[in-house]
Copies of this chain bind each other. A is one copy, B any other.
């Protein structure tokens, strides 16, 4: 075990990904949480913000402008979209960064502008950002100053899709992703749409045909395919706190079978601690990975000949956000990758 202790700052500590970073980092042997920012909650005791964290020994909640950047080795940024670009552009160069917002995930400024409706405000920084789907970007992450942590849906979808597309066992142009997420994905800001009574005992699709995680999935799949591809992506809101399931309908390339897909995935993830290809027949459930950094994948034959169904389950707050962020930090600083991320799934 390495004996280094990194000083970490968490910007946006009052959001759900912020709280999850605290939960995980508080027990990480190589990290000391040294700064917490939370704009509107600055100055409040943690007890008023997250009582479940109030009994940990934590620094006070500050405004960003009051954070002492000098002492920080690593900054996790969970700020709302747009704010992020300005804040990160101003950080001293010794601070390495894992950004959990969407701001630095899209490498093409034109695509960014199209989906976000305005020009990117930190193009220089954008250029050096590494898209941190750890299992597929380890070398780049190692040397990166700024890692753009993938979105939750892209993580769940890309983990199975990248190896399948790269090895040409499925057709990259006919990928249909039906995704389902728990409500933490919508954040902690009070909105009518995520009130208990609006969400429980029911289900619906949202952002149909236009969710902002789409270009992110397309960017990475296009890289894997070696050409531009479009994907069909439809997210649904499920009455549960955590968890994300991607049900992916794929068309096999000529001569390929469900078994080919399983072999590709099994080989791709043979040595990965956090990605498991489930035994034949097991349907990955979000509850198999709740609270853990694991991704559970499986492949099933489809009824339509020449098609297959790929299932992928993660905890959106862990592998889909804060856990993967810490995994990236571990890689950046040469800490063994599973350090601080060995929680067994919490079930029931």
A201-B242 contact given A183-B196, A279-B47, A304-B174, CB 8 Å threshold: yes
Contact A247 B236 (CB under 8 A): yes
From B27, B196, B282, B300, give the contact of A209 (CB < 8 A). Answer: B300
A121 is an interface residue with CB less than 8 A from chain B: no
Size bracket, chain A contacts: 35 or more
In the complex formed, the residue of B with least CB distance to A45 is B279
Once the chains bind, are A27 and B342 in contact (CB under 8 Å)?
yes
Tell me, in angstroms, the Cα distance from A204 to B247 when the chains sit together: 9
Which residues of chain A from 311 to 334 have a CB within 8 Å of any chain B CB? 311, 313
Copies of this chain present: 4
Quick check: which of A59-67, A96-104, A129-137, A283-291 contacts chain B, the rest being far away? A283-291
Can you spell out 16 A-B residue pairs with CB atoms less than 8 angstroms apart?
Answer: A19-B347, A22-B344, A27-B343, A50-B347, A51-B288, A52-B287, A173-B304, A184-B197, A194-B197, A196-B241, A201-B290, A202-B286, A204-B283, A231-B304, A239-B239, A291-B346
Chain A residues in contact with chain B, CB under 8 A? 16, 19, 22-23, 26-27, 47, 50-53, 55-56, 173-174, 176, 178, 180, 183-184, 188, 190-192, 194-206, 208-210, 214, 230-234, 236, 238-243, 245, 247, 249, 276, 278-279, 282-292, 294, 300-305, 307, 309, 311, 313, 342-348
